[in-house]
A = this chain, B = another copy of it.
Amino acid sequence: MMLPTQAKQTLESALAEHGLRSTRQRECVFAVVAASMDHPTADAIYSRVRESLPGISLATVYNTLETLVSCGLVRQVNFEREPSRYCPLSEPGKHHAHFHCTRSGKVFDVHLPESFMKDLEALLPPMFRIDKVDLCISGQNRGENPSGHVEPD
């Protein structure tokens, strides 16, 4: 798992902004998440990272994921009481929801247009300052391969 130079820059500057160091472990965990389109759990990320860094500990994977989330590089996604999943956050301005197929267990990103986010904001009293929006839809994906802004099944 190798990290493109540009992504490396992104990681290092985001970490630096928070007064944090770039390490082999952080680079590798970030590379794995950035390359993962399937919203893996911490355990799955641990498995994938160990192919490059066999000595990394699960604690470090958890620590690093928390760090990357707090730096705004990674998103933590929770469905019901299942283990947390993680996905890369490329553009900080863009929002996306998650569709969880209860049949296949797969997770799909669903792009949320700015207008939808505005509508949502309008539903809340103005004294509520929104920090984070988590929209999880669950159901069944029966039908052929979807196209557009939704990941293939």
Q: Which residues of A are in contact with B by a Cβ distance under 8 Å?
A: 76, 78, 80-81, 84, 97, 99, 101-102, 108, 110-113, 116, 119-120, 123-144, 146-148, 150
Nearest CB of B to A140, in Å = 5
Give the chain B neighbours of A143 by CB distance below 8 A.
125-128
Measured CB to CB, the nearest residue on chain B to A84 is B81
Give the chain B neighbours of A146 by CB distance below 8 A.
125, 127-128
CA distance A80 to B21 in the complex (A): 27
Give the chain B neighbours of A148 by CB distance below 8 A.
125
Give the chain B neighbours of A125 by CB distance below 8 A.
143, 146-148, 150
In the complex with contacts A78-B81, A112-B123, A148-B125, A137-B133 CB distance below 8 A: yes
By CB atoms of chain B within 10 A, which of A120, A123, A138 has the most? Answer: A123
CA distance A137 to B135 in the complex (A): 8
Give the chain B neighbours of A141 by CB distance below 8 A.
127-129
- Is there contact, CB below 8 Å, between B127 and A144? yes
CA distance A125 to B80 in the complex (A): 23
Give the chain B neighbours of A139 by CB distance below 8 A.
128-132
Which 6 A-B residue pairs are closest in the complex by CB-CB distance? A127-B143, A131-B139, A125-B146, A130-B139, A134-B136, A129-B139
